[in-house]
């Protein structure tokens, strides 16, 4: 597996009818595939996230959507960024992602994380628990999922989960990749070092040097060569031939979060979500991503385009701009 350039769709509010919603999703996935992206992602949420929209904004169930995208695309890998472990029994999740792999002809990636959005848990009746408990559950889940994806029949008795010779058939392959997503330097990075093929780091860009150093420490602690763990970074991309247009979109988006960028110093901006945003013309965005992300030892980029990704041609422009950076 290689994830060098991924396209995430975190937003299904396109100003169109519900009947037109999924055709717009398909169009983005196909445009990403044609533009050189190697993976397309959807979020595993039931409500829209704070900062992106109101809870009742459109949100699709991830694996149903990915199964449909499998029939609408040919080459691009398919994944959730990331599956909330608390929402599914781990053996069932192994079966679900393996079925996606079969349906797509071997293009599934299991993106997984501990889960964090408390409102969804409360509303849907999932146990939320403490931060420590959610990571205990993720650790146990990976001890079940990892062998099931590789054709083993694990029997596991833990605090949270148990299985008895759990089978997972049919499978196309025994190396379906596992991606962990998050920014936790101890728990998330430690689990990634033990179980993952790929780590997608979610943090402010100015934190990346410290995050990479911490990841190397977690790998060293278990005797893993850090070079065997792919690393990508999740960023908000606002790109247009008209740089002023997307800079205005950024300002409007941040004002919606209660932040006026025009009043902040560079140091203050680094403490806001703007530090995860890459905004401007293709040349400006390429320079920002190179200097702020890739030069710190990150191999891949996963981008979302909340403000204009659904506009025809926007994803293609991003692909043309970013693919040369990660080849």
- The residue among 22, 51, 97, 18 whose CA lies nearest residue 258 is 51
Q: Please give the structure tokens belonging to residue 81.
A: 């960024």
Distance in angstroms (rounded) separating the CA atoms of residues 304 and 237: 6
Return phi, psi of residue 186, to 5°.
-100, -65
Distance (Å, whole) CA 310 – CA 314: 7
Asked if 198 and 3 count as a contact pair (C-beta separation under 8 A), the reply is: yes
How does pLDDT run across 69-126, given as a tens digit for each residue?
999 999 999 999 999 999 999 999 999 999 999 999 999 999 999 999 999 999 999 9
Is the C-alpha dihedral spanning 129, 133, 135, 140 positive or negative? negative
Domain range summary for the chain, segments of one domain joined by +: 5-244+276-326
Nearest-angstrom CA–CA distance, 298 and 12 = 28
For residue 256, what pLDDT is reported? 86
Per residue in 229-262, pLDDT (tens digit) is 999 999 999 999 999 999 999 999 999 889 999 8
3-state helix, strand, coil in the chain (%, to 5): 45, 15, 35
Locate 78 and state its tokens.
């398919």
Q: How far apart are CA 15 and CA 285, in angstroms?
A: 26
Cβ atoms within 10 Å, residue 327 = 8
pLDDT of residue 51: 86
pLDDT at 327: 87
Those residues with Cβ within 8 angstroms of residue 129's Cβ, 6 or more apart along the chain or in another chain: 86, 137
Q: How far apart are CA 39 and CA 75, in angstroms?
A: 9
Query: What is the pLDDT, as a whole number, of residue 1?
Result: 59
How far is the CA of 266 from the CAs of 237, 262, 270, 271, in angstroms? 19, 10, 7, 9
What pLDDT is stored for residue 123 in this prediction?
Answer: 98
What CATH class is the domain 5-244+276-326? alpha beta
Q: What is the pLDDT at residue 257?
A: 87
Q: Which residues of the chain have pLDDT under 70?
A: 1
Rounded Cα distance, 219 and 160, in Å: 26
Is the CB of residue 75 less than 8 Å from the CB of residue 39?
A: no
Where b means 16+ CB within 10 Å and e means fewer, 167-184 reads ebeebeeeebbbbbbbbb
């Amino acid at each position: 597996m290689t994830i060098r350039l991924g396209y995430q769709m975190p937003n299904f509010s396109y100003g169109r009818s519900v009947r037109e919603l999924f055709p717009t999703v398909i169009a983005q996935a196909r445009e990403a595939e044609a533009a050189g992206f190697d993976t397309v992602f959807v979020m595993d949420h039931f409500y829209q996230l704070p900062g992106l929209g109101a809870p009742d904004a459109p949100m699709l169930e991830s694996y149903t959507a990915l199964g449909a995208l499998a029939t609408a695309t040919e080459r691009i890998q398919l994944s959730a960024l990331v599956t909330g472990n608390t929402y599914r029994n781990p053996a069932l999740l192994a079966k679900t992602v393996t079925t996606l792999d079969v349906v797509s002809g071997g293009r599934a990636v299991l993106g997984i994380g501990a889960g964090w959005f408390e409102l969804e848990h409360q509303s849907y009746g999932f146990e939320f628990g403490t931060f420590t408990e959610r990571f205990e559950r993720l650790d146990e889940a990976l001890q079940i999922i990892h062998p099931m994806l590789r054709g083993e029949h694990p029997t596991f008795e833990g605090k949270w989960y148990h299985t008895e010779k759990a089978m997972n058939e049919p499978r196309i392959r025994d190396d379906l990749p596992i991606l962990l997503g998050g920014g936790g330097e101890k728990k998330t990075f430690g689990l990634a070092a033990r179980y993952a093929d790929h780590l997608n780091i979610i943090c402010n860009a100015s934190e990346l040097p410290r995050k990479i150093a911490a990841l190397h420490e977690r790998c060293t602690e278990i005797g893993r060569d850090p070079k065997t763990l792919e690393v990508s970074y999740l960023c908000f991309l606002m790109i247009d031939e008209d740089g002023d247009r997307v800079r205005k979109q950024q300002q409007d988006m941040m004002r919606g979060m209660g932040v006026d960028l025009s009043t902040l110093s560079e140091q203050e901006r680094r403490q806001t979500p703007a530090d995860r945003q890459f905004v401007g013309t293709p040349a400006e965005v390429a320079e920002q991503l190179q200097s702020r992300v890739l030069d710190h030892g990150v191999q891949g980029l996963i981008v979302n385009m909340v403000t204009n990704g659904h506009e025809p041609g926007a994803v293609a422009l991003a692909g043309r701009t970013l693919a040369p950076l990660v080849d």
